[in-house]
Structure 1
Amino acid sequence: MDIKHEEVTQTESSLLASFPDYLGAQQLVDRMSDDGFPVESVRIIGDGVRTVEQVTGRLTRGRAALAGAASGAWFGVFIGLLFGLFTTGTAWVWFVLISLVVGAFWGAVFGFVAHWSTRGRRDFASVMTLQAKRYEVHVDRARAAEAAKYVL
């Protein structure tokens, strides 16, 4: 069995433009793509990357249990649908409902216990993202002159 691997090669590149946010870099590359420029020779490079944690609210045992119940319910529905594939008639509806209830119950239990076990060391919920100080659009040197018209 012959498996082909596409090899990504690093070529010499030139800085085309620099932006304070990702949206600006994305819009430039999108404009180049829309115009038919071979965007395979373009890279967006985030410089000065840092993590940013946005606190979304206080996390109590009740909220932890509720979040666990929600994720457990989704998992239960998934399992119920899988088992429901092998049933006939309306029995699959019961598989889904029972799996949803069982999943929600155990999700709530695990969510509550997981939060309780931290003993108040992390009583908040958050979302973590990566951000860069600036985003640079680079293009292969062979295409730099052709790409320069997009930043005028």
Structure 2
Amino acid sequence: MTTAFRPTNAIPSLPTMPQGWPIGSYDTYEEAQRAVDYLADAKFPVQDVTIVGVEPLLVERVAGRLSWGRVLGTGAASGAWFGLFVGLLLGFFTPGFAWGPILTGLVAGTVFGMVFAAMNYSATRGRRDFVSHSQIVARRYDVLCQPRQAEAARNLLAKLSIGMPATQAAAQA
């Protein structure tokens, strides 16, 4: 039985726990990203680095109240765009430039968009009268590094914390 060669730093195809030693912990993803970018600017082998969001949370931010007017308006707008697209496609296959397919697609799309939006909204029976946007965030972001490079990475990130430019830090390493 032969086994295929697989590099140790390859991205796993199945979900796996991250490996490595912690080299930094940050309150925001932007700070963790800045740390890894600093390492990259200092010519550090960043393929050995992983950013891990710890204690993930699903945050749903409410954007506004949902009403029949808003539902029908949004449905009409999205239906109109789709109808216009279909009408333009049909217009390409019509001899000469014909407004008929375009207007028919626009009107039909608007009507169907409103009908489907109304059916969808009425199915909730008032249990969700708001619009929201969801995102996954973490309480903190840890930066991990493979053990063979962890100490060098920590030393570079210490230079980041005192404000040393990455090019100067790389020259001192």
Q: TM-score range by the shorter chain?
A: 0.7 to 0.9
The CA RMSD measured in Å over matched residues stands at: 2.7
More displaced 10-residue stretch of structure 1: 100-109 or 54-63: 100-109
Counterparts of residues 63-102 of structure 1 (less than 5 Å): 63-84=70-91, 86=93, 89-91=96-98, 95-102=101-108
Match of 1:46 in 2: 53
Pair 1:40–1:58, CA change in 2 (3 A): same
**1:34 & 1:84 partners in 2: Cα distance?**
53
CA offset at residue 25 of structure 1? 0.7
Identify the residue that residue 8 of structure 1 maps to in structure 2. 11
Check whether the contact 1:42–1:137 (CA below 8 A) recurs between aligned residues.
Answer: yes
In structure 1, the residue matched to 2:168 is none
The code of the aligned residue for 1:106 comes to F
Q: 1:143 aligns with which of 149, 163, 172?
A: 149
Q: Which has the higher contact order (CA 8 A, sep 6+)?
A: 1
Task: Name the CA shift for 1:15/1:100 in 2 (closer, same or farther; >3 Å).
Answer: farther
Tell me the CA shift for residue 87 of structure 1: 5.2
Of 120, 123, 139, the residue aligned with 1:114 is 120
Q: Quickly say closer, same or farther: Cα 1:34–1:85, change in 2 above 3 A.
A: farther
State the number of aligned residues: 147
**C-alpha distance after superposition, 1:93-142 (max 9, x if no partner):** 76455433322221121112211222211111111111111111111122
TM-score, normalization: structure 1?
Answer: 0.79
Shift of 1:33: 2.4
Q: Kindly tell me: are residues 97 and 21 of structure 1, through their superposed partners in 2, closer, same or farther at Cα, counting changes over 3 Å?
A: farther
Q: Structure 1 pair 51/86, CA: closer, same or farther in 2 (3 Å)?
A: same
1:105 partner SS: helix
Judged with a 3 Å threshold, the aligned counterparts in structure 2 of structure 1 residues 84 and 16 are, in CA distance, closer, same or farther, namely farther
Larger radius of gyration: 2
Of the structure 1 ranges 141-150 and 119-128, higher mean CA displacement relative to structure 2 is found in 141-150
Unaligned runs of 5+ in 1: none
Q: Secondary structure at the match of 1:49?
A: strand
Q: Is the counterpart of residue 17 in structure 1 residue 24 in structure 2?
A: yes
Gaps of 5+ in 2: 1-5, 159-173
**Matched letter for residue 11 of structure 2:** V
Q: Distance in 2 between matches of 1:76 and 1:19?
A: 48
Counterpart Cα distance in 1 of 2:147 and 2:128: 49
CA contact (8 A) 2:24 2:154 kept: no
The aligned amino acid for 1:76 is G
Q: Which runs of 4+ in 1 moved over 6 A?
A: none
What is the TM-score when the length of structure 2 is the normalising length? 0.71
